[in-house]
Amino acid sequence: MNVKFNNVYVQSSATSVGPMEAAGPLKNKFDQTYPDLYCGETSFEKAEQQMIKDACDIALRKKELTPKDIALSIGGDLMNQLGSSIYGMRHLDTAFIGMYGACATSSLVIGQGALWVEKLNKPVLCFTSSHNAVAEKQFRYPNEYGVQKKETTTFTVTGAGAIVLGNEKSEIQVRSFTVGSIVDWNFKNVNDMGKAMAPAAYETILSHFEKRNQSAKDYDLIVSGDLSSVGFSFLCDLLIKNDVEIDNKFFDCGMMIYDIHKQEVFAGGSGCACSMCVSIAHVFELIKKQQLKRVLVVATGALLSPILVQQKDSIPCIAHAIEYVGGNI
């Protein structure tokens, strides 16, 4: 399903990240960086909340807004019961919607925010976060547990990103939002989620092109969320088989936020913050500099339930796409 927006613009945006991201190829492009995973707090969960607060605070300040000017805030993260988003935002006195779409939450909250902006004509705050240690604790093993990880494993990004959407004209327009459907090609390996998510990205990209009557030629850049090196090469393979011209336009946020050859991140980055932080720190900057005109961000998420996977069930995945257009078009 695709929704077109006529009057939704990115008003301001901000990121807050941890040490590994700050040492990656996008260093110096983040608004706030922390030297360790605790971010000055006593637990990893509180650290994630702190990063959400930072990102939202900086994004609001950039546009000289206060929480009272925001009609609604929409956010999500990877923790059970959306713990980080809810606890992180509890002191901000605005209407709140929590959303879960695993790592695809970033596009989901932006798309949802855009719908509300069209309806209300007031600014809406969209944010997502993820924290490596929180995600490891919840989905994988304890952080200090000594195992040799598989080469296909992804490394959850520690960070938070916030975007204020509104109807005041700016350099970046949110043009359309494609809501993906749940795609399950019966992949079961939880250590290789990139491969499981690639079909979801593939189907969302094709559906977006079809609904918008576009092709890859209309875009300057198309980025997938967090497919990692394995999933990304699988996606490219699928696209080529369907005669989509890849042309050096396709990239993956999980491979942009880290240097996967130098940093110890296995197949690449993942998590809600991965596509969010790369969009804000890298893609938005290039659109503002007018180096890119039309960009598609396809955030991908593995909607696995640890309990159902232990019951030998597969990993259903989803991908949502947001189309950004440089404001001067």
Residue 233: CB minimum distance to another protein, A = 5
Taking the least distance from each CB to another protein, the nearer of 18 and 231 is: 231
Tell whether residue 262 is a contact of another protein (CB under 8 A). no
Tell whether residue 141 is a contact of another protein (CB under 8 A). yes
Q: Which of 6, 64, 145, 213 binds another protein (CB under 8 A)?
A: 145
Taking the least distance from each CB to another protein, the nearer of 68 and 241 is: 241
Interacting stretch for another protein, rule CB under 8 A, among 122-130, 234-242, 255-263, 289-297? 234-242
Q: Which of 62, 122, 149, 288 binds another protein (CB under 8 A)?
A: 149
- Total residues contacting another protein by CB under 8 A comes to 32
Q: Which of 38, 87, 96, 185 binds another protein (CB under 8 A)?
A: 185
Phi, psi for residue 206 in degrees, rounded to 5: -65, -40
Tell whether residue 198 is a contact of another protein (CB under 8 A). yes
Quote the CA–CA distance of 114 and 124 in Å, as a whole number: 8
Phi-psi region of 306 (alpha: psi -120 to 50; beta: other; left: phi over 0): alpha
Taking the least distance from each CB to another protein, the nearer of 184 and 218 is: 184
Tell whether residue 34 is a contact of another protein (CB under 8 A). no
Tell whether residue 191 is a contact of another protein (CB under 8 A). no
Quote the CA–CA distance of 214 and 234 in Å, as a whole number: 22
Tell whether residue 204 is a contact of another protein (CB under 8 A). no
Taking the least distance from each CB to another protein, the nearer of 187 and 219 is: 187
Rounded (10°) CA dihedral 269, 263, 33, 100? 10
Tell whether residue 90 is a contact of another protein (CB under 8 A). no
Tell whether residue 147 is a contact of another protein (CB under 8 A). yes
Tell whether residue 229 is a contact of another protein (CB under 8 A). yes
Taking the least distance from each CB to another protein, the nearer of 16 and 229 is: 229
Q: Which of 28, 68, 142, 261 binds another protein (CB under 8 A)?
A: 142
Which positions lie near another protein, rule CB under 8 A? 42-43, 45, 137, 141-152, 185-187, 192, 195, 198-199, 229-231, 233-234, 237-238, 241, 267
